[in-house]
Structure 1
Amino acid sequence: MDISKHQHKNNFDQLPDDIVLFIFNKLWGAQWLCRCSVVSKRFASIVPHINNVSVTLSRYHAWSIEEEVTSPVFNYLVGLKELMHLHIETHFCCAVDWKHSWSPHLKWKVNFNTNVRSFTFLMANFLIRAELPPAEDEGEDEEKEDEEEEIQNEMYIRQDAELDRFNMALACFADSRMKLNIVLDMIKKHQMLRGIMLTDTMKEGKIVVFGNQIAELRNLERAKLSTPEVDSDGVEFLVKCCHLPSLHLPKSKLLMNSPSLLYIRCVNSSSDDEGDDVIDEDMLAGSYDDDKEGVYSEAVEEILAKHKNKMSTAWVT
């Protein structure tokens, strides 16, 4: 009987809790951790002490910018008091009826503190490998190039298409503000958090906060609570946009078809207006999600270097 009992003994039960916790921290996936927590009372007592979690929201959620983030998944995360690293992957957060199918060649990035300070959106129909056109003499050829581009603009970029992309960029801007709200809410609820990354399922954009920036955001949130609210009527949005029929990328040796660059900056009317140099640096700063070869960053550089005169400016309140 003793031999039989020994043979059926679970060797996993012999592991110390620290080793089991080490294994659980390697799982990352919230769904696997939930499954482990229902295996036994011992596992249920260990799982709340994990440090690393990855969450994928499988369905659409619509939150307002002001409201507290609530869902069964986030309610579960609240119980993880020792959470240090969190990765959240979520769908589009805004209720928008897209006229066209979602383009895979769409990227956005944000500059933020407790609010989205600026937003850069870049979209293209497609990317193809293409050799650069032969170099031409400047001067006379510039006028010819401008005439050809005007013809291409009339052929390939219609006003309704530009408006459609403009509305899509505004929707993505609103979506990035929702995502930032999620990030700030997680930072507030998890005091031991050292790093958080939020990406969307289509890899168009991401919000990443690590290290000292988390402490800075907590301090800004506390200061925000103790400071009288700023009148929202004093906030304007500076919008810059540029639509091109095509764009050659010399470093990547790619041709970007019908690229659209749109930049939105939140500007307080009481502050001094910032110059073009600051705005250009803001558009070039940071990186796009899943842009390993730097194609989209190069596209912004090329537009600012060679097509800045085609960029229109508007103010929206």
Structure 2
Amino acid sequence: MKNTEKSDAAEDDSSSFDPLPDDVVLQIFRKIIDYETLCPCRLVSKRFNRITLQVDTIRFITKITSYKSFLSKIQSLKKFEGLKYLSVHIPSTSEHPCMCRWKIKCGKNLDSVIFLSPNSVYHSKKYVNENGHEEEDMELTLLKKFTAMECMDHAVLSHLMLLTCIKHIPLLEKVTLKDSGKTYSISLNAEKIAEMRSSLTSPYELIRQNRMSKCYVPLLELPVSGYVLKGVTVFLMEREDLPIGNDSFMKIDDDDSEDKLEAAFNEALMEIFKKHAARFERQLAFTSVIFV
């Protein structure tokens, strides 16, 4: 008799969601955006599997160095027929030897990558009276250039990841890629995704020629955020077939800025293009290659 009672209690516990309508259960599952948590939910029952596949937001972690693994995970997301918002978190593979941020401008092709690296960042300009302008350190600049090239490689692969998301998730309205080291955050809205999706029929360029320009600003004061950047080095890497003087970074959206420092870096780029564009110097061209 006792065994029967225990069995009935266990059955009642397992079916505690049965009285709830599907739309209520779906609202509960929509609070669980982590991919690794959602997957076990699908295994609970046929009903859970059907409802789970209707969630519209998913976040997962992947390694940027493993495109095949990334592609496999994206293809598995096809089962989530209602997926509209995707956030991809990428663990930092290594510590950059210098403080830096980078951003991209893209369509079907990766148009340009901009890399910004200051020697130091101050919260106000009070220090200016005590510290003069900082002359360019050529050894440090060379180190920053190597770091910029490494970021370029990551940018090319990140762009390929974005195209993969757009190709395999038909209802996608927003996709974000960001790394744990906060060196970059790439976010595409519905309008940009639609633009890129319309051009996916043409082949992706696996090899492309790029040009590089460098700008050095000894002291950069940011009027909006109040930050002061010292020894600022910028590398602008663009497709060789784009017009020289391309102003693709003249307008930068701050919608995806997570903190004040990231917003300050965006402001720094705007200030450099407005007031220090003449400082840009052409560097040697280089070739980028995609391996998939």
Question: Which TM class, normalised by the smaller chain length?
Answer: 0.7 to 0.9
- 1:311 Cα deviation (Å)? 2.4
Q: 2:107, 2:238 → 1: CA distance?
A: 13
Distance 1:305 1:207, change over 3 A: closer
Distance 1:104 1:315, change over 3 A: closer
Letter in 1 for 2:170: Q
Distance 1:68 1:188, change over 3 A: farther
1:6-63 residue CA offsets vs partner (Å, 9 max, x unmatched): 8973432211222212211121111220231233333223222222111122x56333
Name the structure 1 match of 2:21: 16
Name the structure 2 match of 1:261: 234
State the secondary structure of the residue aligned to 1:296.
helix
Find 1:297's aligned residue among 266, 272, 275: 266
Distance 1:306 1:219, change over 3 A: closer
Distance 1:174 1:231, change over 3 A: closer
Letter in 1 for 2:66: A
Find 1:62's aligned residue among 62, 66, 75: 66
1:288-309 residue CA offsets vs partner (Å, 9 max, x unmatched): 6536443112222333344444
Question: Are 1:285 and 2:289 counterparts?
Answer: no
The count of aligned residue pairs is 275
State the secondary structure of the residue aligned to 1:202.
coil
Question: Are 1:206 and 2:185 counterparts?
Answer: yes
- 1:196 Cα deviation (Å)? 1.5
Name the structure 2 match of 1:140: none
Where does structure 2 lack aligned partners over 5 or more consecutive residues?
287-292
Q: Mean alpha-carbon deviation: is it higher for 115-124 or for 245-254?
A: 245-254
Counterpart mapping for 1:77-156 below 5 A: 77-92=77-92, 101-102=95-96, 105-131=99-125, 133=128, 149=133, 152-153=134-135
- 1:261 Cα deviation (Å)? 1.0
Find 1:196's aligned residue among 147, 153, 175: 175
- 1:260 Cα deviation (Å)? 1.3
1:50-107 residue CA offsets vs partner (Å, 9 max, x unmatched): 22111122x56333xxx79434x334323223322111111358xxxx6xx4268422
Distance 1:56 1:309, change over 3 A: same
Could you list the runs of 4 or more consecutive aligned residues of structure 1 that deviate by over 4 angstroms after TM superposition? 1-8, 229-232
Name the structure 2 match of 1:238: 211
- 1:185 Cα deviation (Å)? 0.8
The answer as to whether partners of 1:236 and 1:266 remain within 8 angstroms in 2 is yes
The answer as to whether partners of 1:246 and 1:257 remain within 8 angstroms in 2 is yes
Letter in 2 for 1:39: V
State the secondary structure of the residue aligned to 2:49.
helix
State the secondary structure of the residue aligned to 2:58.
strand
Distance 1:6 1:38, change over 3 A: closer
The answer as to whether partners of 2:109 and 2:205 remain within 8 angstroms in 1 is no
Distance 1:179 1:82, change over 3 A: same
Q: 1:104, 1:162 → 2: CA distance?
A: 10
Distance 1:291 1:126, change over 3 A: farther
1:217-244 residue CA offsets vs partner (Å, 9 max, x unmatched): 222112x15xxx8896xx5422111234
Q: 2:12, 2:178 → 1: CA distance?
A: 43
Name the structure 1 match of 2:289: none
Q: 1:104, 1:185 → 2: CA distance?
A: 31
State the secondary structure of the residue aligned to 2:71.
coil
TM-score, scaled relative to structure 1 = 0.74
Name the structure 1 match of 2:290: none
The answer as to whether partners of 1:85 and 1:196 remain within 8 angstroms in 2 is yes
State the secondary structure of the residue aligned to 1:32.
helix
The answer as to whether partners of 1:103 and 1:125 remain within 8 angstroms in 2 is no
Letter in 1 for 2:65: H
TM-score, scaled relative to structure 2 = 0.80
Letter in 2 for 1:295: A
Q: 1:179, 1:3 → 2: CA distance?
A: 56
* Structure holding more helix per residue: 1
Q: 2:195, 2:5 → 1: CA distance?
A: 60
- 1:166 Cα deviation (Å)? 0.8
Question: Are 1:36 and 2:41 counterparts?
Answer: yes
Q: 1:202, 1:308 → 2: CA distance?
A: 29
